[in-house]
Chain A
Amino acid sequence: MRHLNILTFITLFTLVLTGLPSPCHAFQSHPAPEGLYVHQMSHVLFIGALAYLYWHLGKSSLIASRGWHYMRLFCLLFLVWNCLTFAGHASYSYLSVDDFVNMGTWQSKIALPVTPLKLLYYLTRFEHLISVPAIFCLFIGLRLFYREVCAEEEK
């Protein structure tokens, strides 16, 4: 029942995000921002799923292996990464070509003045600093499981 509630919440949240008032036609067209919105919603869905898994792993008594701690860490880091990426997509949508210098070259920069929005975008470009440790946590967790299972089978 608790899982159902979480799913209901995620669904309602998505509906609120997507249910912006607009003219209602028999056939709805899909202008450019729609793809971004859907992508952002998928990040939100992923955030919710990871939060749920993080919470569930924390309360499960059956799971005693150390590998599950890494799995929880993976959830947490990926959740943060999703937030960061969500913020990156959002901030980028507010920037224009004028905010960049030498676009398409190795000398490309963010044009002055550096606003908080520009700074946020700049920081989000380093999202791999989160995703790489996150995927390593997944890897380490699985490797621990594998070794434990091998040791168990050897018995």
Chain B
Amino acid sequence: MINLPLVPAIIADIGGSLIVIIVAFLSAQYAYRLTKIQPENFLWGFLFYLCVAMTAFATSRGVGHIVRQFLILSGNETAWRTLSPFSGGINTLLITSAASVIIYYHKWLEAYEAIQIEVGKQKVANAKLAETAEELHEMNLNLEEIVEIRTQDLSISEKKFRHFFENSKDMVYFCNDGGQVSDINQSGVEMLGYQERPDKLDLHSFFKDVEDLEKYLQTLHDNGFVRDFEIEMERQDGSLCHALLSANAILNEKGEVVGCEGVAKDMTRIKTITDQLISQRKMASIGQLAAGVAHEINTPLGIILGYSQLMQDDFSKESEEHQNLNVIERQTKACQKIVADLLKFSRQSASEKVQLQLNDVIEDVISVTEHSLNMAHIHIIKELAADLPLISGDPERLRQVLFNLINNAHHAIGENGNVTVCTSAPPGNTTITCTVTDTGRGIPAEIQDKIFDPFFTTKGVGQGTGLGLSVTYGIINDHDGSVILESPTSSGSGTSFHLSFPILITKTNI
């Protein structure tokens, strides 16, 4: 039979007790740390109390076992018998304590579950909050991007329209209902006769015709817009400007007109050109008519003149018949002159053009007319350019032109005044100009477009045929030149006729 030695059991008892005590303390340390990190977690609290109970039990039991072994082996069994009930009692109490902690585990768990549910709700709420925050963040980012893109678009658009506004060659303006301009571009400022925009600008004050202004405002209020409205504006310097105006009304929330925005185009030059074209066409038509009439009348007049001269031979010079035939002859010749003038106006008469110096022609005419002008205390002022280029022209007919103009000046002045004849050849120009200016009463604006018409005259019956300026017009046109009337002149009175002739191109001045 084999005995069962108790030494292994004793060694296992001592060693095992030590290990259990040490590991129990380490476990308690971890449990303690857990409660410190997450004090709100009831499960860590449970484990901590369990570990405390287990460590106390392990220590009590382990120390008891070790002490027992040493006391018994050292022959102090009696001492152990004294201690044994205490050791066993403490162990019993500690086992019960550990069991008690475990028994109430479900309470710990309930508390933990309740907290976890709350934590879960909190997590869900936090997650939703985070999600919402993220959405808001993204929206905010998108909003910033959208705002940035819109701002860029707006900036480009603003720049584009500002560029258009600033550089438009037409007037672009914004004004209130009373006509006070709130914004206007530089072209508009210049169109109104200013160099720089004044502080206060009333657009309505530039309307020359009050009726135009009333019609403009009425249309704007009735229709909300005005389209291609032709007006005459009086510039700041007093000169006239023809403008074509289009505008839109600016309405407030109640639909009331509080102002307008519009564009005005300067049509002065176009109107002048149009008027000139109309005038030229009119003059051409009249010229054709006059030429036809002149040709038709010229033949019978020649016959009348011939027969009247023949019949004069049949009567004595003192006879009444001879005197009557003389009247017929004289009036027939007057008619022939008129016909000749008509032919000159219509450029049907023959002319011989040569190279000539216009200054010489002017000198010739002045030498003839100077005497009669001096008689009426009218002074001739000559401002003739030296080295005036040659022109191609009929000297006889040009003399007639200048004679007509000086004669008209004489008639316009009456007595006491000046007639200025000046010539010039602006450098770089292909024309020379000759201006005849008088200090007379001027030509009223309403007849200025008729003065070149044949038979139009302001003189009394018998004082003129009304063909002088018509013939002048015809001759100048025949020389490929132009005649422009200016009345009143820049001095504020009198009349100027500006003649221009193309410079003769010769081998020397090419």
Q: Which residues of B contact A131 (CB under 8 A)?
A: 16, 20
Which residues of B have CB within 8 Å of A106?
A: 7, 10, 73
> 8 Å CB contacts to B: which residues of A66-102?
71, 100-101
A36 to B103, CA, bound (A): 23
Chain A residues with Cβ below 8 Å from B112 are: 62
Please give, as numbers and ranges, the residues of chain B lying within 8 Å of A132 by CB-CB distance.
Answer: 16, 19-20, 23
Contacts of B23 in A (CB 8 A): 132, 135-136, 138-139
* Interface size class, chain B: 35 or more
A101 to B105, CA, bound (A): 46
Q: Is A117 located at the chain interface by the 8 A CB criterion? A: no
B140 at the interface (CB under 8 A from A): no
Q: Which of B197-251 contact A (CB under 8 A)?
A: none
Task: Tell me if B102 and A52 are in contact (CB < 8 A).
Answer: yes
Report yes or no: A104 in contact with B1, Cβ–Cβ below 8 A: no
Contacts of B99 in A (CB 8 A): 42, 45-46, 48-50
Q: Does A19 contact B (CB under 8 A)?
A: no
CB pair B91–A39 under 8 Å, yes or no, is yes
- Asked, given contacts A62-B113, A105-B73, whether A52 binds B103 with beta carbons under 8 Å apart, the answer is yes
Nearest CB in chain A to that of B47: its residue: A142
Interface string of B111-137 (1 = CB under 8 A from A): 011001000000000000000000000
- Please give, as numbers and ranges, the residues of chain A lying within 8 Å of B38 by CB-CB distance: 149, 153
Determine the residue in chain B with the shortest Cβ distance to A7: B103
| A139 close to B5 (CB less than 8 A) | no
Report whether A45 and B26 are in contact in the complex, using a CB–CB cutoff of 8 Å.
no
Q: Mark A111-155, 1 if CB is under 8 A from B, else 0.
A: 111100011001001111101100110110011011001100100
Nearest CB to that of B75 among chain A residues? A104
Residues of A within 8 A of B106 (CB): 3, 56
Question: Could you say which interface size class chain A belongs to?
Answer: 35 or more
CB distance from B9 to the nearest CB of A (A): 4
Q: Hey, what's the 0/1 contact readout for B83-94 against A, CB within 8 Å counting as 1?
A: 001001101110
CB-contacts of B93-108 with A (<8 A): 93, 95-96, 98-100, 102-103, 105-106
CB distance from B473 to the nearest CB of A (A): 104
- Inter-chain CA distance A100–B47, complex, in Å, is 42
Q: Is the interface of A mostly helix, strand, loop or mixed?
A: helix
A45 partner residues in chain B, CB cutoff 8 A: 95-96, 99
Is B33 interfacial (CB-CB < 8 Å)?
yes
**Distance, CA A46 to CA B103, complexed state (A):** 9
In angstroms, Cα B2 to Cα A86, docked, is: 26
- A104 contacts B30, C-beta separation under 8 Å: no
Neighbouring A residues of B12 by C-beta, 8 Å: 125-126, 128-129
**A101 and B3: CB pair below 8 A?**
yes
Given A101-B3, A104-B77, A105-B73: A35 touches B113 (CB 8 Å cut-off): no
Contact assessment for B6 and A128 in the assembled complex, using a CB-CB cutoff below 8 Å: no
Say whether, besides A114-B1, A135-B23, A46 and B6 are in contact (CB < 8 Å).
Answer: no
Neighbouring A residues of B75 by C-beta, 8 Å: 104
Whether B91 pairs with A146 at a CB distance below 8 angstroms is no
| With A52-B105, A128-B13 as contacts: A46 and B98 at CB distance below 8 Å | yes
Q: A45-B99, A128-B13, A129-B12 are in contact. Are A53 and B105 (CB under 8 A)?
A: yes
In angstroms, how far is the closest chain A Cβ from the Cβ of B91?
7
- Are B37 and A122 in contact (CB-based, < 8 A)? no
A101 CB contacts on chain B under 8 angstroms: 3
* Cβ A104 vs Cβ B72 within 8 A: yes
Q: Is B15 an interface residue (CB 8 A)?
A: yes
Does A112 lie within 8 Å of B9, measured CB to CB? Answer: no
Interface residues of A in 24-67 (CB under 8 A from B): 35-36, 38-39, 42-43, 45-46, 48-50, 52-53, 56, 60, 62
Q: How far is the CB of A76 from chain B (nearest CB, A)?
A: 13
- Which residues in chain B, 283-307, are within 8 Å of chain A measured between CB atoms? none
- B27 touches which of A46, A53, A142 (Cβ 8 Å): A142
Interface string of B14-30 (1 = CB under 8 A from A): 01110110011011001
A100 to B10, CA, bound (A): 14
Q: Does A108 contact B (CB under 8 A)?
A: yes
Give chain A nearest CB distance to B216 CB in angstroms.
77
Residues of A within 8 A of B401 (CB): none
Chain B residues with Cβ below 8 Å from A39 are: 88, 91-92, 95
- Which among B6, B31, B34, B96 is the interface contact of A42 at CB below 8 angstroms? B96
Q: List chain A residues, Cβ under 8 A from B91.
A: 39, 42
* B52 at the A interface (CB under 8 A): no
Which residues of the partner chain A approach B54 to less than 8 Å between Cβ atoms?
135, 138
**Are the CB atoms of A128 and B73 closer together than 8 Å?**
no
Q: A45-B95, A62-B112, A128-B16 are in contact. Are A139 and B3 (CB under 8 A)?
A: no
Contact present for A60 and B109 (CB under 8 Å): yes
Q: A42-B96, A50-B102, A153-B37 are in contact. Are A145 and B44 (CB under 8 A)?
A: yes
Known contacts A106-B73, A109-B6, A146-B33; decide if A138 and B27 are in contact (CB<8 Å): yes
Interface check B391, CB cutoff 8 A: no
A35 contact set on B, CB distance < 8 A: 85, 88-89, 92
Ranked 5 nearest A-B pairs via Cβ: A128-B16, A125-B9, A49-B102, A142-B30, A49-B99
Q: B interface vs A, CB < 8 Å? A: 1-10, 12-13, 15-17, 19-20, 23-24, 26-27, 30-31, 33-34, 37-38, 44, 47, 51, 54, 58, 72-73, 75, 77, 85, 88-89, 91-93, 95-96, 98-100, 102-103, 105-106, 109, 112-113, 116
Q: Identify the A interface with B (CB < 8 A).
A: 3, 7, 35-36, 38-39, 42-43, 45-46, 48-50, 52-53, 56, 60, 62, 71, 100-101, 103-114, 118-119, 122, 125-129, 131-132, 135-136, 138-139, 142-143, 145-146, 149-150, 153
Residue contacts A-B, CB under 8 angstroms, 29 given: A3-B106, A35-B92, A36-B88, A42-B95, A42-B99, A48-B99, A49-B103, A52-B102, A53-B105, A62-B109, A62-B116, A108-B10, A109-B5, A111-B3, A112-B1, A113-B1, A114-B4, A125-B9, A125-B12, A127-B16, A128-B12, A128-B16, A138-B27, A138-B54, A142-B34, A145-B30, A146-B33, A149-B37, A150-B37
